[in-house]
Chain A
Amino acid sequence: MTPARPYEGLTVVEAVGGPPASALRLAAAMAGRIFADLGAKVIQVEDHARHEADKDASAIPDALQRFLSARKSVVGCNFDDAFLAGILRKADVAIVDRHVHGSVAANDLPKKVALLSLFGGRNAETDIAASEFTIAALGGFLNMVGDAEREPLKLVGHQEAYALGLATFCGLSAALAKEPSSDNAATIRTSLLDIVVWLNWKAVPLELDAPIPPGRAGASAEWRIVRCADGWIALVYQEPDWPHLCTMVRDERIRQGKFATRQGRLENAVELAHVIEQAFLSRTRRQLHEEALSFRLPLGPVWAPEEALDDPHNAARTLFEELPRSNQASGPIFAPRLPVLWNGSAFSNTIGDVPVATAVGIS
């Protein structure tokens, strides 16, 4: 049974400019998607004037649009028109960028506003060109992932923008927690670079005189990926896990003195990973997963998305829901539901409809 939706009756407007799939638009779309799942009426306003200017830019990929914009209404207008102010005036919550925030009269904005920017601080109002990738560089994220000898590596997908979307939703939900939307004003400010630095807080020395923490270690990392018979497994463990890992590996070389202490393991990380990999090459991911469960070890088989879709754990939790089929689709299309169970129930059927183009906005 789907629980009562907490934001039923609330109208949320997303009005963020920029090219399709740009960071702030994706962030706003993620925040709006969560509001929509939780019952709000969400209107995604597209800047038609900007679209004309960016006609060379690729359209937002179909999969991204289906994932982020389901259950929303999509309205096109020129952001400079009075039409946008009219839509915002009737909303309870607005998610906007600084251009919209600056161009709409304050009394046309709802009481709860999230103001998104690429940069915070003194550069919050500047037009420095940036992407999720270059913000990940400035926030030290790229410095943490990949091989030390090779180029820094981004995480899959749109993690920076989505994390900003989560933060945007978090700020707005906090402002709405104890009062109706029409009460006190709340302006939530968050920037893409702030959220990356927040996520990457362990890269900064917390003691003022401490050395700078090291960056990506690649093959020398304490936690890393190793091969097994049918793919890869994430080698993740803490100090108390070491004796159990030795037992699970079943190769006496792991008990050599040089691996006995954490310091020794760090100094010989490449050799240690090789020993473990050799032992795991005769076992499948599923076998290793079962063994890890029995030894209470935090190892993780690397599942491909297609495998995750069929994984028994995800099936038991009904993590994936089928979208209604479009005319072009030849088979069922799945996407993850909102990742919360509320008194044991999912906000089910939350994904589905392809966004509805609405000509006249809200009434």
Chain B
Amino acid sequence: MSVLKGCRVLDLGIITAGAATSAILADLGAEVIKIESPTYRDPFRLWPSGEGKADDDMPPLFRATNRNKLAISIDLKQEAGREVMLRLVACSDVVVENFRRGVLPKLGLSFEALRAVNERIILASVSSQGETGPDASHVSYGSTLEAVAGFAWGTGYQDDAPVISGRDVNYPDQVAAIFAASMITTALRSVHTGGPAVHLDLSQRDLTSFLIGETFVAASMGEEIGRNGNAQAPFLLQDCFKAADDIWVAISVRDADLGALSTLLGRNIGQDDAALRSALAAHIATQDSDPAAHTLQQIGLAAAPVQDGAGMLKLADESWAHAIQCFDGKRVKGFPFQIDEQPLSIDRPAPRIGADTAAILSAIAGYSADEIGALAKAGVIELGSA
């Protein structure tokens, strides 16, 4: 049995941070209901992926982050739609949202409104900059937050401009989902042991600063914070060197590696950075990346070729196990961890818009077929096809 079996999550999450948070909960066994609207879709349904043909409302990025979910379509701007939503909240455990700040209260779905119908509800607000503060309404993506959080300042080539992870990584969005899912499971424990309803204010900007916490400690102790390229304590040298096949090889050299490295290179390598760098660059430039890295690994050095997407896939099963999964013959985002006794699993594909509207309203919210028909006719709900 999955660890979150019996837990119901209403997922207003969109794009990566919100939708991926709920996806982790779904993989852990929660029943996750993705809520869209006849007038508002998850933008990931339209997001260009660079992979050519999109499958109408099911492009790869959407499919990858919304597998394992059910879907309902409700117009939350209509009073009748709000009532439908609150009826679902009454029999759910968690609501996840990452709308712009102020949108949920404007819809009449503030934490107070949710708590009024369910005194044990958990509302996870996964926002860019938090519920409060002068920048709370600032529209942001992950890389915006790298800039304002002090994170980009420390990323970059030495004596050059700061660097962001960019659109194809958007780092804060990825880690935010793991942290948000963990705070939701923590809140579930709190509620399960008799605690009150919980509103989680989860700011990606706060998280991004937290993930360089030691930098702030160092800065306030007077240390000058700059950009150091790939250098990092305690390594004597850490950088990438280009091999004969034009693939970069990443290397981390400790003091303790110098003896074996000197033997391998046939010359006495001291702690002089320039000499070490020059010797390694010359050694690697004469070999292809795989044998170069392998030879260095054989003497106990941390060394590896820099892989692209194809190289990452070649390491599947051999060096990583669960990060990417295949479902229905297509790749989807996998799991950040696995549990031996209660494995995370993907049991259903991403849903089409409103695919489960009728079934959810009937089985969970107790609406009759006539009521569902009337709501659909009035445009309050949308009955999609599976």
Contact = CB atoms under 8 A, between A and B. Distances in A.
A198 B320 CA distance: 10
A190 B337 CA distance: 5
A202 B65 CA distance: 11
Given A6-B189, A131-B235, A178-B188, A136 B215 contact: no
Contacts of A327: none
B283 to A, nearest CB: 16
Contacts of B155: 145, 153-156
A136 B153 contact: no
Contacts of A162: 175, 211
B321 to A, nearest CB: 4
B337 A167 contact: yes
A137 interface: yes
A320 B179 CA distance: 19
A206 to B, nearest CB: 4
B80 interface: no
Contact of B341 (A139, A187, A204): A187
Given A68-B213, A156-B153, 20 more contacts: A61-B214, A121-B320, A121-B321, A144-B166, A155-B151, A156-B152, A159-B175, A174-B28, A174-B185, A176-B185, A184-B342, A213-B168, A225-B164, A300-B152, A302-B152, A313-B136, A316-B132, A319-B206, A333-B217, A340-B183
A129 B301 contact: yes
B90 interface: no
A306 B219 CA distance: 6
Interface stretch (B245-253, B353-361, B367-375): B245-253
Given A145-B165, A153-B230, A154-B232, A119 B320 contact: yes
B338 A302 contact: no
Contacts of A163: 174-175, 178, 336
A300 B138 CA distance: 10
A181 B154 CA distance: 39
A116 B185 CA distance: 20
Nearest to B189: A177
B140 interface: yes
Interface stretch (B32-40, B44-52, B102-110, B376-384): B44-52
Given A163-B175, A334-B216, A340-B183, A175 B3 contact: yes
B223 interface: yes
Give the size category of B's interface with A.
35 or more
Interface stretch (A102-110, A215-223, A248-256): A215-223
Interface stretch (A75-83, A86-94, A289-297, A355-363): A289-297
B312 A336 contact: no
Contact of B317 (A121, A238, A340): A121
A140 B337 contact: no
B250 A188 contact: no
Given A120-B319, A194-B336, A58 B233 contact: yes
11 contacts: A57-B254, A121-B320, A134-B303, A140-B306, A170-B185, A174-B4, A199-B169, A201-B324, A202-B169, A204-B313, A206-B51
Interface in B160-174: 161-169, 171, 174
Interface stretch (B70-78, B81-89, B194-202, B262-270): B194-202
Contacts of B135: 293, 313
A139 B336 CA distance: 13
A201 B130 contact: no
A257 interface: no
Most buried by A among B51, B202, B240, B305: B240
B352 interface: no
Given A137-B307, A206-B63, A221-B167, A313 B225 contact: no
